[in-house]
Structure 1
Amino acid sequence: MTIKHLRVDYDKVNPTGSFSPGDVLSGRITVVTSKETRVQCLLVEAEGKAEVTRPGEDGHPPTTRRDRKRYFYFENIILQDKKGDGSEIIGRGKNVYSFTFEIPNRDMPSSYEGKWGKITYSLHTKLTRSIWLVHKSKTEFPFLTKSEFPFVSKSKRIIIGLKEPQYTTRILFLGSGKVTVNVSSEKMGLKQGEAMEVRAEVLNHSRCAVTPKFHLSEKQTFVSGSRRVVHTNDVAFGAETSVVPEGSVQTVARTLSVPPLLPPTFFNCSMMGLQYELKVGHGTLV
């Protein structure tokens, strides 16, 4: 083949390799050819978009229909045969072409991939030799919004996103009686890898011993057309050893660490959202 290699790369602006609104994105296109090659056009595109696959109804598989929202799109034409006389030629061997884009300085959601949708930021390059000979290459780059903690409703027990202590009560009815769990926390706004102390006051008025269990509930929300779909996933913080005997009151304190690779809460995308809730349940010991 005449075009042996086509690739698009970008330069990192920080150790993590992520970009944010207002950053300058620079990179290069590398084209390797076996001989001199006439081209109609060589271009590179930068794009940020959200995409949701419409879930199937009543347990059916998802449809092929997708809803999209574009946050930005730029195009940089490197080579173009405007006259159509074949004057644009790529030399034999390795050829490198540089480009630069400036990412818009406005609120956009971070890169994310969930159950029914994803938010991606990518570079595309396309080399057109004729209407039948088109070569393409793509690479995605991580994007991190500057909105550290978007606004969330205070009625939700968010552990990443709400910077204030919170107190809640949960009443559980068992066949042998009632169990009341009062949960309090020192803070609710956390970053990945951080820890917080959670206290659970368990009023066990049942005839069974109970063991408090702490869970982190991930709530993904997707909007496609007129449909709103919610996908939840509970992650346990590990086995519990504290046992509250029957007919007693006991306070259980636990320091919970947020997994370091957990995606942060976001609410600045109209097609999808992500939030977390801290849940305290129990297991019974007969």
Structure 2
Amino acid sequence: MPSVESLTVNYDFLNEQGTFSEGDIVTGNVTLTLAKDTKVQSLFVKLKGDANVRWSEKRGDKTKVYSADTRYFKLKQFLTPEGSDETALPQGIHVYKFRFQIPPGSMPSSFKGSYGKIVYKIEAKLSRSWRMNDTAEKELVFISKFIPSLQSPMTPQSGSTRKEMGLFSKGHVEFEAVLNKKAFGAGENMELVLSVDNPSSKKVKPKLSLTKKITYYARGSTKSSTDEINKMVFDPIEQNTKKELKCVMEIPADQGPSIQNCDIIKLEYTLKVYLDISFAFDPEIIFPITILHSDVVSRFQHNVAAPSDFGGPSNSVFPPPAVSMGPYPVSPQAGGYGYPAAQGFSAPPPEYPGQPQPYAAPPGMYPPLPPTYEGYSNAVPQQPFPYGSGVSTSHLSPTGPPNHQPPSAPPMDPQSSSPSLAPPAYSSLPSAPLVNENFLSQGDKAPLE
């Protein structure tokens, strides 16, 4: 009978959409179920973000493969003591809490295409002597708050063009188009005003086409695809006629945000406004369209950044839920089965009939372990944990976390009508260790695990 019955990883949502962004806090738990007492070399959890592309091209009898990888960050926490040869874990259900902060910086949104993907995920790994590693992973939906270098993205953009009809027709045609802005959210309507002056001998038909182009880059080569995602056709405008059209085109809600901050994958949108003229080249106006996450569009419109009360500034619009410890109070000194998880704790899972019950562990034997930073040159120090280290089910504190009272009003100066303000006291946070290797731009180098 195998020693490991199951290894799972889960994370908590910060908002109704279940998305994360730069600087957000990721909390969750790793659950290990053992059928018998087991010795393990290590148990750890990683949070990482990677982009990779791959495609092949056949030239004659040979097939050439193009691939590239970029790592944005990797954070790691050991749930059993780091550097220990073996750690004995008893039979039962072991639950470890973890807590990460996604680094700041320009990172692209989650994406999956025909020849590449951008994936952010949490991965737990259990290593044992003379055994295959047990792994569990779960992907995060990452929405980038990167703002493209747009000049006044909420202001209109316009264009105009003129075309001479040529040998087979007389006169010319000219038109002007004004689009209400440059940046939109998925599912939002684009508003366009189109003015057409047709003093020619031919009728013309106005058309709109919204297209999406994906480009993959690897080893100096590119692979691209273009798809039309929406289209509108208007009635013809007769000869010697002027007409103004006001139209609304919806951006499909299932379209992902534009990707302009990834060196191996680019996702672009364009709106083409043109006049369909028979037996002639069609005059056209091209508007570049930037699709942003709805949170970013809302901030542009209101010019307000939404603060967060959990783990410092957050990029999520929805307020984070209160941290719930359930019916179990938490002691910051206790350790899950005597081995505290770095930046997390071990808590009792709910009881289910027929399942082994959690092991009653001895008190904590090791101090909390610091986080391990990999793959990011300017690692962000993790915030202090509101719920301490690992927690054993048999050594819970009889009291809950302390209640934080609001600061009292400053004392009044008897010689003045205004209160005398004392400088606030600040607590210094420990600095995160720096790493020597920078994974922000690896080119063709495959990312580490």
Question: Could you tell me the TM-score, scaled by structure 1's length?
Answer: 0.82
Identify which range, 179-188 or 94-103, moves more after superposition.
179-188
Deviation (angstroms), 1:67 = 1.0
Deviations 1:157-182 (A, max 9, x none): xxxx9433222235676995465443
Question: Structure 2: how far apart are the matches of 1:87 and 1:48?
Answer: 29
Relative to structure 1, the CA distance from residue 71 to residue 130 in structure 2 (aligned partners, 3 Å threshold; closer, same or farther) is same
1:61 is displaced (CA, Å) by 11
Are 1:88 and 2:88 matched, yes or no?
A: yes
Q: 3-state DSSP class of the match of 2:80?
A: strand
Tell me the equivalent position of 2:115.
116
Kindly name which structure, 1 or 2, has the bigger radius of gyration based on alpha carbons.
Answer: 2
**Structure 1 CA distance, aligned partners of 2:49 and 2:62?**
27
Change (3 A) 1:184 1:194: same
Mark the runs of 5 or more structure 2 residues left unpaired by the alignment: 280-449
Quick check: which one's strand share is greater?
A: 1
Classify 1:248/1:83 alpha carbon distance in 2 versus 1 (closer, same or farther; 3 Å).
closer
**CA gap 1:69/1:184 in 2 versus in 1, 3 angstroms:** same
Unpaired stretches in structure 1, ≥5 consecutive residues: 155-160
2:8 partner amino acid: R
Q: Secondary structure at the match of 1:104?
A: coil
Contact 2:109–2:143, Cα closer than 8 Å, also in 1: yes
Q: Distance in 2 between matches of 1:228 and 1:113?
A: 17
Cα 1:81–1:236 change in 2 (3 A) is closer
Question: Quick one: percent identity of the two aligned structures?
Answer: 28
Is the contact made by 1:39 and 1:81 (CA closer than 8 Å) also made in structure 2? Answer: no
Following superposition of structure 1 onto structure 2, how do residues 158-173 of structure 1 map, counting pairs within 5 Å?
162-170=153-161
Change (3 A) 1:81 1:182: closer
Change (3 A) 1:83 1:254: closer
Aligned length: 275
Q: What is the distance in 1 between the residues matched to 2:61 and 2:145?
A: 38
Distance 1:191 1:82, change over 3 A: closer
d(CA) in 2 for partners of 1:95, 1:62: 49
Corresponding residue for residue 277 of structure 1? 270
How many Å separate the matches in 1 of 2:14 and 2:223?
Answer: 36
C-alpha contact (below 8 Å) 2:66/2:218 kept by paired residues: no
Letter in 2 for 1:120: V
- Distance in structure 1 (CA, Å) of the matches to 2:211 and 2:109: 20
For 1:116 and 1:205, how far apart are their aligned partners in 2? 48
1:218 deviates by 1.2
- Contact 1:165–1:184 (8 Å) recurs in 2: yes
**1:216-239 Cα distance to aligned partner (Å, 9 max, x none):** 11122222121233322112235x
Q: Which amino acid aligns with 2:88?
A: E
Letter in 2 for 1:248: T
The change in CA–CA distance for 1:83 and 1:165 in structure 2 (over 3 A counts) is: closer
Q: 1:1-286 maps to which residues of 2 (within 5 A)?
A: 1-54=2-55, 56=57, 65-80=66-81, 82=83, 84=85, 86-89=86-89, 91-147=90-146, 149-152=147-150, 162-170=153-161, 177=169, 180-204=174-198, 209-238=203-232, 240-283=233-276
- When normalised by structure 2's length, the TM-score is 0.54
8 Å contact kept, 1:44–1:77: yes
